[in-house]
Amino acid sequence: MSEQSPARRPRHLMDPANPVRPVNDHSLTRVQRWVLSVLAVTTIFHLSAGLVIGAFFLDESATVSRYGLCVIGGLFGVVAAAVARLIHQKPVASWWLALGLVPGVVGIVILALS
């Protein structure tokens, strides 16, 4: 009697006799954090820049409102930097928060010069 070899399973199916070892997902988690932080920061920075740009489309007579939109835009930039720090589980208070003020400060400077 000849011994029959077991039927070959297609590679995409699971073999209960040979389970797949668990994957070390440490690097996957790191990649997921970076992707999430990049998406969150770019989305919130676009909101921040949109508020600052929107300030230039207000009437010239609404000076306080124009500066107010620039300040709000700067605060949203700070929120974006804080969100990135939180996603990476770093302390929120750092000099990176100052980077969030850039859109608001640029808007205020341009408004003051015009």
Is 66 a domain residue?
yes
Number of folded domains that form the chain: 1
Alpha-carbon gap, residue 79 to 48, rounded angstroms: 10
Q: Is the pLDDT of residue 28 over 80?
A: no
Q: Is the pLDDT of residue 23 over 80?
A: no
> Residue 97 sits in which domain range?
43-113
In what helix (H) or strand (E) does residue 41 lie, and over which residues does it extend?
Answer: helix 26-55
Alpha-carbon gap, residue 100 to 68, rounded angstroms: 16
pTM of the model: 0.75
Render pLDDT for 60-104 as a digit per residue (tens, 0 to 9): 888 999 999 999 999 999 999 999 999 999 999 999 999 999 999
Among residues 66, 55, 99, the alpha carbon closest in space to that of 80 is found at 99
Residue type, 42: T
Is 8 a domain residue?
no
Among residues 92, 69, 87, the alpha carbon closest in space to that of 29 is found at 87
Asked if residues 80 and 45 have their Cβ atoms less than 8 Å apart, the reply is yes
Is 3 a domain residue?
no
Q: Is the pLDDT of residue 9 over 80?
A: no
Is 77 a domain residue?
yes
Average pLDDT over residues 20-45: 85
Asked if residues 48 and 73 have their Cβ atoms less than 8 Å apart, the reply is yes
Q: Is the pLDDT of residue 1 over 70?
A: no
Is 30 a domain residue?
no
Predicted local distance difference test score (pLDDT) of residue 8: 73
Alpha-carbon gap, residue 45 to 50, rounded angstroms: 8
Is 15 a domain residue?
no
